[in-house]
Amino acid sequence: MSVPPTTPRPRLRDEVRHALFDQADRVTASAEARATTSDLSIDEELNLHSIGWEPVELVSGVSLHSIPFGYWNWGQGEIEGASMAHATAFVNATTHLLREAGAAGGHGVVGVRIDRAVHSTFVEVSLVGTAVRPVNRSRRLERGVFASDLSARDFTMLMVAGWEPLGLATGASFVFAPRRSMGAAIQQQSQNVELTNFTEAMYSAREAAMQRMQEMAIEMHGTGVVDVKVQEGPMSFASHAVGFVALGTVVRLAQAAHRLIDPTMVVALDDASVAFDARTLS
Amino acid sequence: MTSPTSDLPEATEHRLEELEKGLFTSDLSVNEFLLIKEVGFHPVGFVMGSSIYHTGLQTRKWSQSQELTKLTEAMYNARELAMTRMEEEANELGADGVVGVRLDVNYYEWGKDAAEFIAVGTAVKAEDGVSRRNQLGKPFTSDLSGQDFWTLRQTGYLPQGLVMGTCVYHIAHRGLGQTLGTTGQNVELPNFTQALYEARELAMTRMQDEAARLGASGIVGVRLEEKSHQWGSHTIEFLALGTAVTKTSENVTLPTPTTIISLDN
C-alpha cells in the first residue's frame, strides 16, 4: 500500500485574485484567440453557424433602482415613480449588457434571460445572454449592438427569413385601482355587474405600458415587436395597485423582401406521451 | 377605420393609431410569425380586451341538481365583454382576424366574487388585400396557434370565429340513505352521471349554436374545461371552446407528411 501523493492545497485567495485579473484582461484584451463561453446548446450553436454566426461570450447586465418609501401608499392615477424606476432599471441593465457584449467583440446578444422583480422599495432587473457575432469578423458593425430574448434558434429563423432583431423593448405602468364604496359593494353583492372602475384602472395601466413599449420600438426604427410577453395583476405587497409590464424583441426587415421558409410537414413517430393516468381516479 | 360605435378608451385609440402607421406588435413566437407570413397574412397588432366582473349570488339546493343560470349568465357576459373589446381593437386596426386568442380568468384579492376576464391575441391582415372577415363582416377570431393556422389554411379552411358555450351546474349531494345503501357495492351513481351529462350537453349545444350563427361548417380544436372556480366542489363550470371553420377553397395544398423518428429524448 503506497500513500497517495499529496496534492498541494489550492490557495483560494490567489485563485480568486487570478480569476478577477483574468476577467479584467479578457474585457480589455482584443477579441483574439480565446475560449468562448456560452449557454447555448449544441443544436443552437450549430444553428448559429449555419447562418455564419458564432457565440463569443456569456454576458450579463444587472441593475437595481430604488422606489422611494411611500410611493405605494394610497393615491390616484398612475404611480409614476414606480413606472419610471422600472424603465430606468431596464435601460441601465440593457446598457451594461450591451457594453459587456461590445467589449467582448459581439454584434448582438441572443437568448437573453430576463429576471425582473418589483419590490416595494426597489426594482430589480437582471439580464444574462450570449454575445454573438458573424464569423467573418471583417464585417464592421454598422450599428449598435442588439439584445434579444429570442433563443438562438429563433434568431436563426428570423435571419433566414430576412429579418433582424434590433433590441429589447419594454413598457411598464403601475396604477392605483380605486376602491368601491361600501354602499356600492353591498348593493352589488347579489348582482352580475362589471366593476368598471377596476376595468378602467387595468386598461389605463395596460395602455400606458403598451404605448411605452411601442415608443421604444419606434425609437429603434423597428417595424415590429415579436414574442411580446405581458404580465399583469395587483402587486403582491399592495393589492390596491395594479401593474402591467410588456416586453418583446424589436425586429426589422433587413433584406429587400420577406423570404418564405417553406416548411415541411412531419409526423413524429415517437411514442405518444401518457395522456391517461389511472392514479388520478380516486 | 374608426367605427362610430367604438367605446374603447382614448389611450387605446392613440396606441392603435401608432400601430396603423406600420409598426406591429405580436405575442406570436418567431416560428408562428413566419408561418403566418407563409400563408399570406401579416400581423398588425397585439390586441386585448378585458373586463373585471362581479358575479352575483344564487342559492343552491343541497340535494338538487340544477343549472345556476345567474352564474352561467355572468360567465357568458364577462367573457363576451372581453371578446367584444378585443374584436373592436382588431376592427379598429382594419384586421381580417385574430389568431392565438387566449381566454383567461384571474381572481385577485379584491374580493372572491370579482374576477378579471381577459382575452388576448394577435390581429392579422391578409397581404393580398382581399378581406377574410367572417359572414358578419367582423374580424374572425381563433384560438389556433400559428402552426395550427398554417395547417388549416393548407386544407382550404378559414376560421370564422372562436365559439364557446358555458354552463354552471350544481350537482346534488347524495343523501345519507343513498350513501349507506351503496356502501360496499359496485354501482353506478346515476344522479352524478346524469348531472355531468346534462351540464356538458348544455355547454356543447350552446357552442354549436354559436357556430351555426356564423354559418360555419365545423368546429376544430374543441376543448372542454371543467372548473370549480371559487364555488366549492359541487358547483362546476363546464366551458366548451373551439374555432368554427368553413371551407373557402377546394384546393388542398397540404403536402404528404414526412414521418420522422427523432433521435433525441
Q: Each residue of B149-171: pLDDT tens digit?
A: 998 998 889 999 999 999 998 88
- In our burial notation (b when 16+ CB lie closer than 10 A, e otherwise), range B178-194 reads eeeeeeeeeeeeebeee
Q: Using a CB-CB distance cutoff of 8 angstroms, which residues of chain B are in contact with residue A189?
A: 56-57, 113
Q: Using a CB-CB distance cutoff of 8 angstroms, which residues of chain B are in contact with residue A185?
A: 111
* Contact with chain B for residue A44, Cβ under 8 A: no
| Per-residue pLDDT at A33 | 54
Which domains occur in chain B, in start order?
12-247 (3.30.110.70)
| Per-residue pLDDT at A192 | 83
**CB-nearest partner of A270 from B81, B150, B262:** B262
For residue B261, give how far its alpha carbon lies from the nearest alpha carbon of chain A (Å): 5
| A182-241 residues touching B, CB cutoff 8 A | 185, 188-195, 198-200, 202-204, 206-208, 210-211, 213-214, 217-218, 222-230, 232-234, 239
Question: Residues A198, A200, A201, A203: is their CA dihedral positive or negative?
Answer: positive
- The residue among B19, B41, B54 with the most chain A CBs within 10 A of its CB, best to mutate, is B54
- Kindly determine whether residue A214 and residue B70, on different chains, have CB atoms separated by under 8 Å: no
Q: Using a CB-CB distance cutoff of 8 angstroms, which residues of chain B are in contact with residue A204?
A: 9, 11
* Contact with chain A for residue B37, Cβ under 8 A: yes
- Kindly determine whether residue A233 and residue B114, on different chains, have CB atoms separated by under 8 Å: no
Chains A and B form CB pairs within 8 A to the count of 164
At the fourth CATH level, which superfamily is domain A36-185+192-258?
Answer: Hypothetical protein apc22750. Chain B (3.30.110.70)
For residue A177, give how far its alpha carbon lies from the nearest alpha carbon of chain B (Å): 10
CA dist B31 and B135 (Å) reads 30
Which chain A residue lies closest to B263 (C-alpha atoms)? A270
Q: In sequence order, what are the residues at sequence separation of 6 or more whose Cβ sits closer than 8 angstroms to the Cβ of residue B187? A: none
CA A89 to each of CA A66, A97, A218, A241: distance values in angstroms, whole numbers, following the listed order: 9, 12, 20, 20
Q: In sequence order, what are the residues at sequence separation of 6 or more whose Cβ sits closer than 8 angstroms to the Cβ of residue B77? A: A192, A194, B53
- Kindly determine whether residue A192 and residue B77, on different chains, have CB atoms separated by under 8 Å: yes
* B231 compared with A213, residue with greater pLDDT: A213
| Per-residue pLDDT at A123 | 93
CA dist B115 and B81 (Å) reads 13
Residue pLDDT, tens place only, B197-208: 899 999 999 999
pTM: 0.82
* B135 compared with B112, residue with greater pLDDT: B135
CA dist B153 and B253 (Å) reads 9
For residue A224, give how far its alpha carbon lies from the nearest alpha carbon of chain B (Å): 4
- The residue among A148, A179, A195 with the most chain B CBs within 10 A of its CB, best to mutate, is A195
CA dist B262 and B265 (Å) reads 8
Say if residues B132 and B126 touch (Cβ distance below 8 Å). Answer: yes
Q: Using a CB-CB distance cutoff of 8 angstroms, which residues of chain A are in contact with residue B88?
A: none
Q: Which amino acid is at B60?
A: R
Provide the Cα torsion A131, A134, A139, A141; round to 10°.
Answer: -30
According to DSSP, the residues that pair with B259 across neighbouring strands are A267
C-alpha A259, offset from chain centre: 27
| B72-91 residues touching A, CB cutoff 8 A | 73-74, 77-78, 81
Identify which of A128, A138, A76 has the alpha carbon closest to the alpha carbon of residue A105. Answer: A138
Which chain A residue lies closest to B114 (C-alpha atoms)? A195
Domain definitions of chain A by residue range? 36-185+192-258
CA dist B99 and B162 (Å) reads 10
- The residue among A110, A168, A190, A192 with the most chain B CBs within 10 A of its CB, best to mutate, is A192
| Per-residue pLDDT at A1 | 46
CA A265 to each of CA A156, A157, A269, B142, B263: distance values in angstroms, whole numbers, following the listed order: 20, 17, 13, 22, 18
CA dist A106 and A179 (Å) reads 50
According to DSSP, the residues that pair with B45 across neighbouring strands are B123
CA dist B199 and A222 (Å) reads 49
Q: Using a CB-CB distance cutoff of 8 angstroms, which residues of chain B are in contact with residue A195?
A: 52-54, 110, 114
* Contact with chain B for residue A253, Cβ under 8 A: no
- Kindly determine whether residue A192 and residue B55, on different chains, have CB atoms separated by under 8 Å: yes
- The residue among B6, B26, B30, B41 with the most chain A CBs within 10 A of its CB, best to mutate, is B30
Tens of pLDDT along chain A (282 residues) come to: 455 556 566 677 777 666 555 555 555 444 455 678 888 888 899 999 999 999 998 999 999 999 888 778 777 888 888 999 999 999 999 999 999 998 888 899 999 999 999 998 899 999 999 999 988 765 556 678 999 999 999 999 999 999 999 999 999 999 988 776 667 777 777 788 888 888 888 888 999 999 999 999 999 999 999 999 999 888 888 778 889 999 999 999 988 888 888 888 888 777 665 555 555 544
- The residue among A78, A149, A188, A199 with the most chain B CBs within 10 A of its CB, best to mutate, is A199
| Per-residue pLDDT at B57 | 76
- The residue among B17, B25, B150, B264 with the most chain A CBs within 10 A of its CB, best to mutate, is B25
Say if residues B26 and A163 touch (Cβ distance below 8 Å). Answer: no
- Kindly determine whether residue B30 and residue A213, on different chains, have CB atoms separated by under 8 Å: no
- Kindly determine whether residue A213 and residue B256, on different chains, have CB atoms separated by under 8 Å: no
Residue A184, φ and ψ in degrees, nearest 5: -60, -40
For residue A162, give how far its alpha carbon lies from the nearest alpha carbon of chain B (Å): 10
- Kindly determine whether residue A193 and residue B54, on different chains, have CB atoms separated by under 8 Å: yes
- Kindly determine whether residue B9 and residue A207, on different chains, have CB atoms separated by under 8 Å: yes
Provide the Cα torsion B184, B188, B190, B194; round to 10°.
Answer: 140
Confidence of residue B140 (pLDDT cuts 50, 70, 90): very high
| Per-residue pLDDT at A234 | 82
Identify which of B147, B168, B156 has the alpha carbon closest to the alpha carbon of residue B221. Answer: B147
Q: What is the mean pLDDT of residues B133-147?
A: 91
| Per-residue pLDDT at A282 | 41
Say if residues B33 and A263 touch (Cβ distance below 8 Å). Answer: no
